Amino acid sequence: MLYAILCYHSEEIVTGWTKEEDDAVMARLHGVHEKLARNGQLGPTARLRPTEAATTLLKNSGRVIDGPYAETKEQLLGFYIIDVADREAALDVARDLTRANPGGAYELRPISLFLPGTLPEAAETV
């Protein structure tokens, strides 16, 4: 079953990390990524840029605003798509990710439709 793991954390904290702190977190996360990839469970993942780079379209009014729609303590900073047997297996992955990157929250949602799409080779992957 496919699950999305949505990564929430305080953007202020995460963007306040030194390069060394950020590199250490990413190295720990890479260990989890490698385990999932070896098991054929890792799908697309993304680390999002800060919310200051966001644009939101309010669907009902068609209004466009700079930044995220919700003013919250924690922001959506990235996501994983994983292929696991069930909710408990998805929670195990989220627990592994938490050990690598404590703080914030991981929201798990079963995926009802997945269209992987394709990106041109020149797509930016910063």
Residue 90 belongs to domain spanning: 2-110
For residue 43, being part of any structural domain is answered with: yes
The arrangement of strands across the sheet holding 2-9 comes to 42-47, 75-83, 2-9, 105-110
For residue 124, being part of any structural domain is answered with: no
| Residue 40 token pair | 């054929």
Cα–Cα distances (Å) from 71 to 5, 49, 56, 109, 123, in that order, read 21, 17, 12, 21, 30
For residue 85, being part of any structural domain is answered with: yes
Tens of pLDDT along 5-23? 999 999 999 999 999 999 9
Give pTM, 2 decimals: 0.81
Domain count, the chain: 1
The reported pLDDT for the residue numbered 73 is: 76
Q: Phi and psi (nearest 5°) for 12?
A: -60, -40
For residue 46, being part of any structural domain is answered with: yes
For residue 18, being part of any structural domain is answered with: yes
For residue 118, being part of any structural domain is answered with: no
Whichever domain contains 101, its CATH number is 3.30.70.1060
